[in-house]
Structure 1
């Protein structure tokens, strides 16, 4: 892969992810959001989308980047707020099921199919196959089309305006469509929704992906196969989740850096809890100057882009 080609691809990805940050970027939690209000979100990322549509602050139950929603244990107060809300904005799937399963399903706006109580009890029993549709990718906020769907559904229920979100998503999709064919690897498939249906071809070894989806440590053979792909130059860039690392991911990142393969760091959770709609609108106006080399692009993304 030529440096110029990598730089162009990375520049496009950086522009895409920076634009996408506007939909899921979170700042300090507001204490002014009314409890028991008409609309509430399970997590900060979906509160941001709802706020962009309604033009008002939308509170979230799970805030910050210290708690994984998979393991969140809601309080009685948390569950009461979900039950009382006229509209609950949720991710769906196993991700935030501990919260939304107490609400009536016709009041839930969700990105991927909901689980019922019985399914929630077996939420970690993944089938032994790779995702075949966006509905099987639980980090749904990475998928532009899913963000659009949620925004449109919130607008229908609240009388808000999803136009600005739809416009931003269209711009993101246009940029993604311009990315040329490249091979990528992911230490964790959280950004799968972002690259789904694009020329960013994920060639991460299947056994490694399955282990990651099942929240298991990959086998030595799976890690070895992944390392060989990087060493042989089969992978043009490596997507790394800096919020979830272990000895295997550190080895993969180290080898990629030795091979001069750019690292794109995608955090599963935003740095902070949530943002007001004012902050959100400001973030849409941010500009980004394209770096001139792949290493500069990688550094820019790792420092500034957290979806």
Structure 2
């Protein structure tokens, strides 16, 4: 199967925290010409979150910003390496999602601290908590599903130095769809910025608190969705939105072999494709969620079956759309789910 990256024009019509990894110290090129701290993020998701915390006090550069770029297969350029080498703070997703970052971090020789988002997930192997910088301890932890249809924490072990670098079998690396994890990531960004720029630490903390309030709003919307629709079934072509749907109390009806094959760009086994078709046609699935940035023959087939069965199709993305922030984007995704399920 070919996992094609959809062109930006095709997307125009689309609807709708642990330990900081590889910590170090900022190098001499960590500030720009105007004296602002330089922050480099693997994707615009983490770039936007950094901007929300740092505001005008920092310069943020995201390497992946286009819907036509796939972080799984992105090949870093010499320009990217130069950008990373000049960073004062680096933010990556980890878990094998943006492996190109690990390569350029190593080859650039940077000593900047690196925040690896997957390490802030409660499901990350060996993560027993969030250290001294816990997000609201009373907040309800969102269920954090693995890439399979179940929600078991993966059993895996790795040296901590490499924990954020490699794909971990059974772990869903798309943690930016888990608002609770992102609250911890944002808190660590504020902490690191405060360490690097102590004079403005209070501002970073205040900005984090504003951001965290936005996260609480999203979690509140998810709780309301869960109260009305817990146990209803969704089918996803890739595991990208599973943290969000699990937090909404929705059940993933997708055969694990289907979504894993689509994500890896492999052929879906014939028996699995037949099983997927039966599930969609059963009438039990309330909504089909697809990755708006990728597609393929098997994805097209289940979309066609869903439409024939009268099942609504939602398109979620892996990047923050133009004109949105992380918070408005996630809230829009939750609202789209709520609107669809209420029909």
TM score, norm. by length of structure 2: 0.63
Structure 2 residue ranges without an equivalent (≥5): 1-14, 17-30, 125-157, 194-200
1:1-307 to structure 2, matched below 5 A, reads 34=32, 37-56=37-56, 57-101=59-103, 102=105, 107-113=113-119, 123=166, 127=169, 131=170, 136-158=171-193, 159=201, 160=204, 161-179=207-225, 180-181=229-230, 182-272=232-322, 280=325
Q: Shift of the alpha carbon at 1:210?
A: 3.4
Question: What SS does structure 1 have at the residue aligned with 2:285?
Answer: coil
CA change 1:169–1:90 in 2 (3 A) is same
Deviating more after overlay: 71-80 vs 219-228:
71-80
Structure 1 residue ranges without an equivalent (≥5): 1-16, 19-32, 299-307
CA change 1:213–1:123 in 2 (3 A) is farther
Q: Deviations over 1:162-202 (max 9, x none)?
A: 11211111111111122222111101111012123441110
State the alpha-carbon separation in 2 of the partners of residues 99 and 92 from structure 1: 8
Q: Shift of the alpha carbon at 1:38?
A: 2.9
CA change 1:207–1:70 in 2 (3 A) is closer
Q: Shift of the alpha carbon at 1:139?
A: 1.8
- Mapped contact 1:100–1:108 kept (Cα < 8 A): no
- Mapped contact 2:287–2:340 kept (Cα < 8 A): no
Q: Deviations over 1:88-124 (max 9, x none)?
A: 11111212221244256870112114999x979x957
Question: What SS does structure 2 have at the residue aligned with 1:265?
Answer: strand
CA change 1:283–1:45 in 2 (3 A) is same
CA change 1:105–1:208 in 2 (3 A) is farther
How much is the aligned-residue C-alpha RMSD, in angstroms? 3.7
State the alpha-carbon separation in 1 of the partners of residues 244 and 321 from structure 2: 19
TM score, norm. by length of structure 1: 0.69
CA change 1:105–1:169 in 2 (3 A) is farther
Question: What SS does structure 2 have at the residue aligned with 1:269?
Answer: coil
State the alpha-carbon separation in 1 of the partners of residues 326 and 291 from structure 2: 26
- Mapped contact 1:184–1:236 kept (Cα < 8 A): yes
Q: Deviations over 1:189-246 (max 9, x none)?
A: 1101212344111011132133235442211111111110111112111111232122
State the alpha-carbon separation in 1 of the partners of residues 178 and 315 from structure 2: 17
Q: How many residues align?
A: 251
Question: What SS does structure 1 have at the residue aligned with 2:184?
Answer: helix
Deviating more after overlay: 98-107 vs 249-258:
98-107
Higher RCO (C-alpha 8 Å, min separation 6): 1
Indicate the structure with greater helix content. Answer: 1
Q: Deviations over 1:50-103 (max 9, x none)?
A: 001111352112221111112222222311321331211111121222124425
- Mapped contact 2:88–2:112 kept (Cα < 8 A): no
